[in-house]
């Protein structure tokens, strides 16, 4: 398995993190982001959206980090991380969707603006972040993990950009339940970190 | 099964559509959107994000339309619509993520602005729409369905807001492969429509 990777990308990091948590080795292939390798014709052939990460496993090519987590959990029979069964699967998937939508539009966009100088509506990103983190904090005041009574790929998917929120100008200081959850993720066996976490 | 529903919402529609396609009845409970019922304390208890649809099935409460499609496919053993197996499942999920991210930020946002007077960066939404539809058109010039060689919940998830793109000021006229795919979806047995499709 090979991951087209960027060290500072939270979406790449979540795949590295999950591989570490389940003890599966993965070969990292750093992408030359500054020179725009992810926009090259060769890369677009692998991922028409021109984004990282990309996961290659034999003739399987995946371009979405949430789908990579699901793929890895299924491939390695880790139902503990991604259950089967209609209800539990859907409850995990709902949080994969939060990673894909509310987290992307909130803390991820704010960080892209502040740290990587992306041109985007940073005001909207900060409002979306505040709203999201309020919801997360309330939710996590009532449960230890996002989707089920144990850690799942939902937690892995949502962790990176919440843990990096300060790089988008968002303080987690008032959100004790969010911070306690981040600490629980960091305390998982074989946890792997990245810069600024 | 009860769906908190709004007729003009593409996210509600995709759940109604999938229930029709698999021949499963669902009780619709219209939400009084104009009076802000989805922001009421009672509704927020069901969905802290304050959005529709919400699906209630016994003690299962789901608040994300993509997760609802997955739930319904699993509940009714419709692997034909959402396969199990690491690779096929991930390939479908990638397109559920496109519905959740690129379609939400593109044609869905553009329509929210134009049709429902949402205050948002419509310029960004139109640029995102154009980029997405180019990618879709190229992809669909090479395959009949989004994820696999047959229709899946990926097609159901992505169909509504692409089919409604004109309501966000986006013309599909140049995109023959996208239009042919929309027609294939519309020709599915038991297809159900909604206003403006």
Across the range B90-117, mean pLDDT stands at 98
CB A115 within 8 A of CB A167: yes
Residue B138, chain A, CB below 8 Å: the answer is yes
For residues B162 and A25, give the distance between their C-alpha atoms in angstroms, rounded to a whole number.
Answer: 39
Return the DSSP state at B104: I
Task: Look at residue A19 in the predicted model and tell me its pLDDT.
Answer: 98
- What is the reported pLDDT for B41? 94
Q: Do B48 and A139 contact (CB within 8 A), yes or no?
A: yes
Tell me the pairing of strands B2-5 and B60-62.
Answer: unpaired
Residues of chain B with Cβ-Cβ distance to A88 below 8 Å are none
Portion of chain B with pLDDT greater than 70, in percent: 100
Residue A70 has its nearest CB partner, among B67, B93, B102, at: B93
* CATH code 3.40.50.300 for A2-75: no
Distance of alpha carbon B49 from alpha carbon B43, whole angstroms: 9
pLDDT for the residue numbered A39:
94
- State the Cα angle at B116 between B113 and B120, rounded to 5°: 30
- In the predicted model, what is the mean pLDDT of residues B132-145? 98
- Asked whether B14 and B160 are in contact (CB, 8 A), the reply is yes
φ and ψ of B112, to 5 deg: -60, -40
Return d(Cα B74, Cα B68) in angstroms, integer: 10
* Low-confidence stretches of chain A (pLDDT beneath 70): none
Q: What is the mean pLDDT of residues B128-156?
A: 98
User: What's the CA gap between B120 and B108, in Å, rounded?
Assistant: 11
Distance (Å, whole) CA A159 – CA A152: 11
All CATH 3.40.30.10 domain ranges in chain B, comma separated: 2-75
Fold classified for A86-186 = Glutathione S-transferase Yfyf (Class Pi); Chain A, domain 2 (1.20.1050)
The pLDDT value recorded for residue B49 is: 96
Distance from CA of B86 to the nearest CA of A (A): 5
What ipTM did this prediction achieve? 0.98
Mean pLDDT of B178-191: 98
Grade residue B9 by pLDDT with cuts at 50, 70 and 90: very high
Give start-end residues of each CATH 1.20.1050.10 domain in chain A. Answer: 86-186
| Residues B63-88: tens digit of each pLDDT | 999 999 999 999 999 999 999 999 99
Phi, psi of B80 (to 5 degrees): -60, -30
What residue in B sits closest to A70 (Cα-Cα)?
Answer: B90
B162 — pLDDT class (breaks 50, 70, 90): very high
Using CB atoms, which residue from B63, B74, B98 is nearest to A94? B63
- Nearest C-alpha neighbor of B120 from the set A170, A105, A96: A105
The pair of three-digit structure tokens given for residue B1, joined into one six-digit string: 């099964």
């Amino acid at each position: 398995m090979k991951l087209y990777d960027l060290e500072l990308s939270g979406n790449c990091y979540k795949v590295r993190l999950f591989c570490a948590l389940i003890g599966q080795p993965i070969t990292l292939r750093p992408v030359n982001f500054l020179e725009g390798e992810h926009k090259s014709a060769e890369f677009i052939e692998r991922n028409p959206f021109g984004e990282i990460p990309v996961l290659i496993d034999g003739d399987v090519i995946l371009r979405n980090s949430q789908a990579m987590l699901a793929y890895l959990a299924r491939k390695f029979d880790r139902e503990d991380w991604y259950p089967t069964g209609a209800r539990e699967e859907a409850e995990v998937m709902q949080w994969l969707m939060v990673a894909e939508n509310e987290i992307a539009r909130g803390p991820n966009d704010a960080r892209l603006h502040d740290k990587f100088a992306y041109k985007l509506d940073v005001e909207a990103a900060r409002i979306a972040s505040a709203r999201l983190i309020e919801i997360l904090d309330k939710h996590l005041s009532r449960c230890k993990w996002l989707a089920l009574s144990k850690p799942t790929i939902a937690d892995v998917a949502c962790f990176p950009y919440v843990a990096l929120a300060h790089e988008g100008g968002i303080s987690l200081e008032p959100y004790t339940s969010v911070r306690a959850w981040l600490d629980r993720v960091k305390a998982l066996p074989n946890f792997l970190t990245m810069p600024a976490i």
